[in-house]
Amino acid sequence: MIRESCCFALKELKRWMKPEKVATSITTFPSSAKVVSEPLGVVLIISAWNYPFLLSIDPVIGAIAAGNAVVLKPSEVAPATSSFLARILPDYVDNSCIRVVEGSSPETTALLEQKFDKILYTGNARVGRIVMTAAAKHLTPVVLELGGKCPVLVDSNVDIKVATRRIVAGKWGCNSGQACIAPDYIITTKSFAPKLVDALKITLEKFYGKDPLESPDLSRIVNSNHFKRLMNLLDDEKVSGTIVHGGQRDEKRLRIAPTILLDVPSDSLIMKEEVFGPLLPIVTVDELREGFDLMNSKGKPLAAYLFTKDRKLEEKLVKTVSAGGMVINDTILQVTNPRLPFGGVGESGMGSYHGKFSFDAFSHKKAVLSRGFGGDVPMRYPPYTAHKQKILRGLITGNIVAVFLALIGWTRH
């Protein structure tokens, strides 16, 4: 994906940089107008641990393409990648304008005390608030790529084999659920839930075997702190009786088997916070359309997914649910299209990047209006007579008829 992002930027950069000509109005006639992209200056990129290479380099591509100097702060939770970037990146980029700063909370705090021209942060909402507070002291704009509980609405009319494969790939195939756009919970009808659970079990066994803890295709949990956090969600007394598949764990090797929970109470911990792991709750409703109310009762997610053959249901999702992005009849693939923006809304973040959206995120759009010395209108200068004011009103509102009538001295009654 990084290679494709680089190639796409190289291919499109001249077009992105080209000033955009825009129409002018009668008020400025004769004139020409354009929007010019210019670099913001020095930008700070604070990346996350779950895709530590991708989430570090992808925004850097956009920042460099837009002409900025860049400070990259990789996540200390992925120390091998952080060390790799600090060691290798200087061999390939201009060190006078692109630097990698390693460290943990003290180093990040020190960086946030500096004045940057823009900050892009990828991570959780708690730290996002800290970043935004620090940025506010310098009136620095921010892009926050956060997360949230990404719902999956599953209709009973779907191709269940294809649907479950795509849900499993998006949940457990993506870092064992440690992804901001991974499915967080499923909503389906009470009547269809048993079929869906059975299909998910079959798919999980096919992908990861009868003992998934030994599967080479299943990611570990990143560290012991996150392992304990997930165990707290799973061992909550409100959900302990809802596990219908999985639940095995190996704390020494930081492995948790794919786990499905059915009819999880809405007031349980797992339904209150982002899971960010291999646990998948299923919530059932009488009618699938009730699922829209359930989605909207929670914070706006980074992604929302729908599996259905019903076009009206698809339209309803797009019109009534606010989310950073959406995919119909699949999961996570929205991030692979560089022509789509990637970003959140509300609690899941602000701003977006990828492709031209990255270039725009790190650019200032400068308005440029150019005029010659001809076509000077005396009406814009004092003294402002009633006649001049009529003409000025027409010019400002773009009302050519009013201008013409004022010029010939005709008065409306």
**In the 8-state DSSP scheme, what is residue 403?**
H
Distance CA 66, CA 143 (A): 15
CB-based burial, 225-240: b 16+ in 10 Å, e otherwise? ebbebbbebbebeebe
Instruction: Report the amino acid identity of residue 248.
Output: Q
Which residue, chain included where needed, has tokens 């150019």?
370
What b-and-e string marks burial along 41-66, b requiring 16 or more CB atoms within 10 Å of the CB? ebbbbbbbbbbbebbbbbbbbbbbbb
Residues in a beta bridge with 35: 20, 367
Q: How far apart are CA 305 and CA 181, in angstroms?
A: 10
d(CA 93, CA 99): 9
CA nearest neighbour of 280 among 238, 235, 234:
234
- Which residues does 307 contact at the CB level (< 8 Å), separation at least 6? 152, 153, 154, 155, 158, 163, 166, 167, 328, 329
**Contact (Cβ atoms closer than 8 angstroms) between residue 316 and residue 292:** yes
Do β-strands 142-145 and 118-122 pair in parallel, antiparallel, or remain unpaired?
A: parallel
CA torsion angle 354 357 359 363 (round to 10): -140
Q: Are 213 and 248 in contact (CB under 8 A)?
A: yes
Q: Are 74 and 50 in contact (CB under 8 A)?
A: no
**Active-site residue list:** 145, 180
The two beta strands, 142-145 and 279-285, are unpaired
